[in-house]
């Protein structure tokens, strides 16, 4: 049985360990292993290569993905999906592992509804916004990058009597912002899921400033789309000179942490085993309460991820 792996959408730390484990484990199980380069675009263009151990040797410590990734407008046209399917058949591939996020799984849902595709998705996105799983590959590395940046920014904030407003990624999900605020001791956290009460926070911080506070750290999720507004508010209402730091794509890079490497291995082993034992997978492997399981792709794309209650409580506590 020939199996393949591909990346789609944004890269995430942990993809390379997953790719290595896929090749090594598939060959160990007596299967042929294929690498699909450049994501959905590569699938359309037939960038499919049979892999050996040599192709994935020494890659576990690299961030990003050695087989690269893409987003594809062409894939939304039937003729190109048909071309992609024919490329899969030509290589005699019977199962595909897809490392990706919400957009990738939506594309695969449509693909599998039209063609005889056997695939398992591995949630791989720093946003941690995939329905049905507590954890997505790459999140731990991303949070450590943010944590390191916040620790350094707080050093200079306290040295210069300044406030800092740090925008983190996460798309429309506030997971990264809340988790980072919790471990960094930020005074303010603003996320798309909750309305920010300026008046209440202003009263609290003005009182603390009068009592001796001389700096503040605010974390804002990009999905809130309020960075400029909050910057002006902090300077005008709190009276603190405020600097803005947008961390940007450094959050998607870097060496995968120990945890992300181990999770990559476990996600991938579960996905390969499932493909080898089922002929009509079309599932996503998820991780909840310390265990891996599989849910239908339709459930993943038709439902929206919600922040855990204790994350919401953590933001409300700051008020």
Q: Which residues are catalytic?
A: 127
- Please say whether the beta carbons of 93 and 43 come within 8 A: no
Residue 243: strand pairing partners: 164
CA dist., res. 74 & res. 63, Å (int): 27
Q: How many CB atoms lie within 10 A of CB 53?
A: 12
Neighbouring residues of 19: CB distance < 8 A, sequence distance ≥ 6: 5, 7, 35, 56, 59, 65, 66, 67, 99
* Lookup: tokens for 144: 């450590």
3-state secondary structure of 35: strand
Residues 23, 55: contact at Cβ < 8 Å? Answer: yes
Q: Which of 41, 123, 45 has the alpha carbon at shortest distance from 76?
A: 41
Enter the tokens of residue 235: 């300077």
Rounded CA gap, 24 and 40, in Å?
Answer: 23
* CA 268/CA 273 separation, integer angstroms: 8
3-state secondary structure 36-89: ECCHHHHHHHCCEEECCHHHHCCCCCCCCCCCCCCCCCHHHCHHHHHHHHHHHH
What does the alpha-carbon distance between residue 130 and residue 134 come to, in Å, rounded to a whole number? 8
DSSP state of 249: G
């Amino acid at each position: 049985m020939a199996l393949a792996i591909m990346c789609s959408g944004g890269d995430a730390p942990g993809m390379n360990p997953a790719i290595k484990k896929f090749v090594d484990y598939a060959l160990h199980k007596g299967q042929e292993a294929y690498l699909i380069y450049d994501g959905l675009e590569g699938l359309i263009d037939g960038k499919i290569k049979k892999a050996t151990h040599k192709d994935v040797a020494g890659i576990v410590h690299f961030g990003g993905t050695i087989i690269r990734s893409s987003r594809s407008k062409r894939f939304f046209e039937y003729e190109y999906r048909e071309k992609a399917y024919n490329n899969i058949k030509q290589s005699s591939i019977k199962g595909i592992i897809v490392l990706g996020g919400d957009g990738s799984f939506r594309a695969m849902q449509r693909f599998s509804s039209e063609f005889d595709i056997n695939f398992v998705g591995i949630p791989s996105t720093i946003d941690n916004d995939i329905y049905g799983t507590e954890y997505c590959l790459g999140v731990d590395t991303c949070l450590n990058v943010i944590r390191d940046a916040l620790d350094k920014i707080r050093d200079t904030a306290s040295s210069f009597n300044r406030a800092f407003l740090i925008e983190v990624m996460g798309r429309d999900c506030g997971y990264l912002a809340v988790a980072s605020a919790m471990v960094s001791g930020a005074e303010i956290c603003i996320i798309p899921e909750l309305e920010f009460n300026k008046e209440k926070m202003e009263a609290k911080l003005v009182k603390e400033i009068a009592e001796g506070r001389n700096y503040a750290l605010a974390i804002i999720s990009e999905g809130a789309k309020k960075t400029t507004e909050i910057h002006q508010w902090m300077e005008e209402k709190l009276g603190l000179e405020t600097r803005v730091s947008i961390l940007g794509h450094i959050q998607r890079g870097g060496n995968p942490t120990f945890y992300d490497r181990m999770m990559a291995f476990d996600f991938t082993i579960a996905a390969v085993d499932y493909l080898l034992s089922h002929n009509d997978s079309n599932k996503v492997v998820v991780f909840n309460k310390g265990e891996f399981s599989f849910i239908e792709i339709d459930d993943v794309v038709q439902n929206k991820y919600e922040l855990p209650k204790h994350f919401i409580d953590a933001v409300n506590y700051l008020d």
